[in-house]
Structure 1
Amino acid sequence: MKKAYVFPGQGSQFKGMGADLYQSSGQAKALFDQANHILGFDITQTMFEGTDEELKQTNVTQPAIFLHSVALARVSSDFAPDMVAGHSLGEFSALVAAGGLSFEDGLRLVAQRADAMQKACEARPSTMAAILGLDDQTIEEVCASIEGEVVVPANYNCPGQVVISGSVEGVTLACEKLKAAGAKRALVLQVGGAFHSPLMQPAREELAQAIESTSFNAPRCPIYQNVNAMPSTDVDIIKANLIAQLTAPVRWTQSVEQMVADGATHFVECGPGKVLQGLVKKIAGSVEVASI
Structure 2
Amino acid sequence: MKLAFLYAGQGTQHVGMGRDLYETYPAFRAVLDAAKVDFDLKKLCFEGPEETLSQTQYTQPCMVAFAAGVTAVLYEKGVRPAMAAGLSLGEYSALCAAGVLTPEQAIELVAFRGKAMAGAVKDRPSAMAAVLMLGREELQKCCDAASHLGVAEIANLNCPEQIVIGGDAAAVEEAGRLAKEAGAKRVMPLKVSGPFHTSLMAPAGDALEERFRSESFNTMNFPVLFNCRGDVMGQGDTIPGLLVKQVQSSVHMEDTIRNMAAHGVDTILEIGPGKALSGFVKKTDKSITTYAVETAEDLEAAVAALKGA
**1:227-242 paired onto structure 2 within 5 Å:** 227-232=228-233, 237-242=238-243
Match of 1:221? Answer: 222
- The percent of aligned pairs where both chains have the same amino acid is 39
- In the alignment, which residue of structure 2 is the partner of 1:61? 59
Match of 2:304 in 1: none
State the match for 1:199 in structure 2. 200
In the TM superposition, residue 236 of structure 1 has moved relative to its aligned partner by 5.4
Q: How does 1:1-292 map onto structure 2 within 5 Å?
A: 1-35=1-35, 38-76=36-74, 77-148=77-148, 149-232=150-233, 237-292=238-293
Q: Deviations over 1:140-187 (max 9, x none)?
A: 121122233100000001002000000001101101111010111111
AA aligned opposite 2:166: S
Cα 1:19–1:33 change in 2 (3 A) is same
How far is the alpha carbon of 1:60 from its aligned partner? Answer: 1.2
Q: 1:212 to 1:179 in 2, by over 3 A?
A: same
> Cα offset for 1:230?
1.5
**Contact 1:150–1:167 (CA under 8 A) maintained in structure 2:** yes
Deviations 1:262-288 (A, max 9, x none): 100000012211111111111110110
Matched positions, count: 290
Question: Contact between 1:199 and 1:247, CA under 8 Å: does it hold in 2?
Answer: yes
Letter of the structure 1 residue corresponding to residue 128 of structure 2: M
TM-score (norm 2): 0.91
TM-score normalised over the length of structure 1: 0.96
**Cα distance between partner residues in 1 of 2:117 and 2:210:** 14
8 A Cα contact 1:218 1:235, kept in partner: no
Q: Which letter does structure 1 place at the counterpart of 2:66?
A: H
Read off the aligned partner of 2:228 and give its amino acid letter. V
- 1:162 is paired with a residue whose SS is strand
Which amino acid in the other structure matches residue 217 of structure 2? F
Runs of 4+ in 1 over 6 A off after TM superposition: none
**CA–CA distance in structure 2, aligned partners of residues 64 and 103 of structure 1:** 12
CA contact (8 A) 1:63 1:111 kept: yes
Task: Rate the CA distance shift 1:5–1:179 in 2: closer, same or farther, 3 A.
Answer: same
Contact 2:146 2:172 in 1 (8 A): no
Distance (Å, rounded) in 1 between the aligned partners of 2:6 and 2:246: 17
For the residues of structure 2 that align with 1:65 and 1:132, how far apart are their CA atoms? Answer: 26
RMSD of aligned residue pairs (Cα, Å) = 1.4
Separation in 2, partners of 1:98, 1:187: 35
| Aligned amino acid, residue 205 of structure 2 | R
CA contact (8 A) 1:93 1:106 kept: yes
- Structure 1: how far apart are the matches of 2:38 and 2:177? 44
**Cα distance, 1:103 vs structure 2:** 1.4
Task: Give unmatched runs, 5+ long, in structure 2.
Answer: 294-309
Q: Give, in angstroms, the shift of residue 128 of structure 1.
A: 0.2
Q: How far apart in 1 are the matches of 2:147 and 2:88?
A: 27
Distance (Å, rounded) in 1 between the aligned partners of 2:44 and 2:236: 34
One-letter amino acid of the counterpart of residue 28, structure 1: F
Maintained 8 Å contact 1:121/1:192:
no
Contact 1:221 1:233 in 2 (8 A): no
Q: CA deviation at 1:234?
A: 8.4
What amino acid is aligned across from residue 218 of structure 1 in structure 2?
T
Check whether the contact 1:266–1:289 (CA below 8 A) recurs between aligned residues.
yes
Q: CA deviation at 1:121?
A: 3.1
C-alpha deviation, 1:122, in angstroms: 1.6
CA 1:106/1:235 → structure 2, altered by over 3 Å: closer, same or farther? farther
Aligned counterparts of 1:30 and 1:188: Cα–Cα separation in 2: 38
Preserved CA contact (<8 Å) 1:218 1:233: no
Unpaired runs of 5+ in structure 1? none
Say if 1:199 and 1:282 are closer, same or farther in 2 by CA, change over 3 A.
Answer: same
